[in-house]
Amino acid sequence: MCRIKQTLLIILLNLSLVLSLHAQDKETKTTAQGEAHQHEVVPQEEVDAITSRLIAPCCWSETANLHKSPAARKVQQAVLKGLQDGKSAEEIKAALVAKYGERILATPKLEGFNYLVFILPVAALCIGGIIVWGYLNRSQSIENKGGVKKNKSSDSYSSQIEKELQDFEN
């Protein structure tokens, strides 16, 4: 009987420990999503959707939702605060562009010089295709015309080889 009481006591202590850790974890998550002046709860997916279109301003090599630097966390917090304040995604991005410049955008805006980023690869692919098509068409037409033109020296070598082959067979 004493052993059963001890087992039940251990189970109750473990359960209370798990529940207190779970409550503490919830409290930590809410604090991380915003300070005491939080207006509304914003899902992390919404924050990730915006930060996935922004570059981390520390090294400019990875999107802010994946990067683990303090600068990327600042961008994530700025997006979270903007969403809590009721701002749209475009307003938040405009504020971050004003602070960091257009370099923070993962995809450049489609205006002015930035059109070349989208047009040049397609144009290069088309021009390369035309060049390859022309080369293949030209080499095919040469083969159809009879191949390489023979000159006098190649005729003399051919006749010499034929003569030696006949002598060898006899």
User: pLDDT per residue over 113-168, tens digit each?
Assistant: 878 888 899 999 999 999 999 988 887 777 666 555 556 667 788 888 888 888 88
* Residues ≥6 apart with Cβ < 8 Å to 57: 71, 72, 75, 100, 103, 104
> What pLDDT shows up at residue 32?
47
∠ CA 110-112-116, rounded to 5°: 70
Q: What is the separation, in whole angstroms, between the first and last Cα of the chain?
A: 115
CATH class as words, domain 34-107: mainly alpha
Q: Taking the model in full, what pTM does it have?
A: 0.49
